[in-house]
Amino acid sequence: MQTSFADLPTLQSAVYPALVLFALTAIVFTWFTVVYIKRKGFGNPDDSDLYIDCAYFMEIGKRPSQQDSVFISNLSDYKRYGITALVADGMGGMEYGGEISEKVAKFVEQMCPLSFFATEQNSDELRRYSNELYDEYKLSGGSTLAMVHIAGNYMNYYSVGDSDIILVREGVPTILNPRQNYMALLIKSLCRNNKQTVSAYNNPKSRALIDFMGNQNPRVIYTKKPIRIFDGDKIIVSSDGLTDAVSLRNMPHYFRDGASATALELKRAVASRKRPKQDNYTGIVFTIKRSPF
Amino acid sequence: MIENYILMHKGGQDEYRDNVFVNYSSALTLAILYFPTEADFSVADEASVSALVQSSSKMRFTDLSESITPILTNLKNYMLIRIDDKHINIERHGKVFAYIVQNGELKMLPNGMSSLEDGDRVICCTGEFMKRLNEVAVLSDAVVSDSAEEWMDNLVCRISDKNRLGEGNLTAVTMIVRSGD
């Protein structure tokens, strides 16, 4: 069939709506890719934006000086880089514990913004810095490191030593990071021999750290894949001054809706214990909530 | 390749009663038997299960399952697993569990076949092993561990913190898919 000149008006009337439809589709597509994704970020279709609330406390306890250090990255950068938070606990009884924990916090500040997907490289950087500390202090001091990096609906963590990273889900607190102390080695050995582990807990040296910042080539524990976080979760990064005073079992009594209220309650809980040798105690509290917008 | 680590610990009991039978061939085949009480324990069944698993290399999973079911007819808690780089096939009965780490979560594996990818982490364990753990702990230890052995060691430390390994038999298998190896 041939198209005659007489058919042109009919053709034009069909083409114009198609062009308009195409233009509208192009506009919507451009808006989605440029505006929506930029604002909301990439993610699974079922992902919904979470927002976080953060608060911290840092107390000296009964110690003569503060040897804990904290670092929290700028909340205003959260959408772009996520948030990084660190607690470094200077090792008590060592001359330069406080100084080293401060240096670790400053080093992490310099590392920021961290790449969320380069956990291996980030852990290499931390290990390299530990080697620098080793060269400078020759084991006359050390510090733990407990650090979380939260971005979108996921969290990575890094840990050296025995400070705590606690995830509270459905009201139940769980310490995430394995402790790098002598007790872990004793338990492993007893388990291999099909024995019970009571003796490991009775060993007076069981809490001695086998890895810390300031040691040569420490093992930096880090998440190879990020952990999903959900609406209602809480994340607490703390020195052992908190968890020694308030057990995990008792901790839920002090959880409140907001991060500030929870931090305040936990701080009061430690103080109320009136422990005569209370260590420095530090905690950073995050509460995760679904965005109302 | 499936990197794996098997824990068979007697806990606070006089003897280890649970059992794990393994066949290492192109795919890893496992049978985990769980006896929560002495009354459940049956030695006679075990020899037959062992023989069947050992000779299961060329057997289809459904055939293995059909052959093993009559032997374990009186056993309430057991699991059959066949796993390779691409798939895991599971048949579980009673209080034995299988979980996989996916998208930052720990998900329970259903009976039947599921797809796997390089780096996926899977744990199969008895109810006694999971009794002192929670899913957050299992997930966290999975994502920080370099090996199946390290993952198990971390989990054992958690159980030990709760009961000094002084309760029932502890039986579990941790597995990591290493497609590149």
Tell me the nearest-neighbour CA distance from B18 into chain A, angstroms.
14
ipTM of the complex: 0.92
How many CA atoms does the CB half-sphere of A8 hold within 13 Å? 3
- In angstroms, rounded to a whole number, what is the distance separating the alpha carbons of residues B170 and B150? 16
Q: In chain A, how many domains are there?
A: 1
- Whether A224 has its CB under 8 Å from any CB of chain B: the answer is yes
Interface check B104 vs A, CB under 8 A: yes
- The answer as to whether A219 is a domain residue is yes
Q: How many CB atoms lie within 10 A of CB A278?
A: 18
Q: What is the pTM of this model?
A: 0.87
Superfamily in which the B2-177 domain is placed by CATH: PPM-type phosphatase domain (3.60.40.10)
| Segments making up each domain of chain B, as ranges | 2-177
Two tokens at A186? 């004793």
Q: Which domain holds residue A66?
A: 50-290
A56-81 confidence digits (pLDDT tens): 999 999 999 999 999 999 988 888 89
Please name which of B60, B67, B65, B66 lies closest in space to residue B79, comparing C-alpha atoms. Answer: B65
The answer to whether the Cβ–Cβ distance between B119 and A225 falls below 8 Å is yes
Helix A97-111 to helix A119-137 angle (10° resolution) is 150
Q: How far apart are CA A85 and CA B140, in angstroms?
A: 18
pLDDT tens-digit readout, A218-249: 999 999 999 999 999 999 999 999 999 999 99
Q: Hey, CA dihedral for A140, A164, A291, A225, is it positive or negative?
A: positive
Residues of A in contact with B137 (CB under 8 A): 174, 176
CATH classification of the domain holding A55: 3.60.40.10
A226 interfaces chain B, CB cutoff of 8 Å: yes
Partners of A221 on chain B (C-beta within 8 Å) are 144
In a domain, A118, yes or no: yes
CA distance B34 to B23: 18
Question: CB pairs below 8 Å between A and B: how many?
Answer: 75
User: In angstroms, what separates the C-alpha of B166 from chain A's closest C-alpha?
Assistant: 6
Residues of chain B found within 8 Å of residue A159, distances taken between Cβ atoms: 144
Reported as type and span, the H/E element at residue A186 is helix A182-192
Taking contacts as CB-CB distances below 8 angstroms, the residues of chain B near A201 are: 164
Tens-level pLDDT at each residue, chain B (181 residues): 999 999 999 999 999 999 999 999 889 999 999 988 776 666 657 888 899 998 888 899 999 999 988 888 778 899 999 999 999 999 999 999 999 999 899 999 999 999 999 999 999 999 999 999 999 999 999 999 999 999 999 999 999 999 999 999 999 999 999 987 5
B127 with B77: CB under 8 angstroms? yes
pLDDT at B169: 96
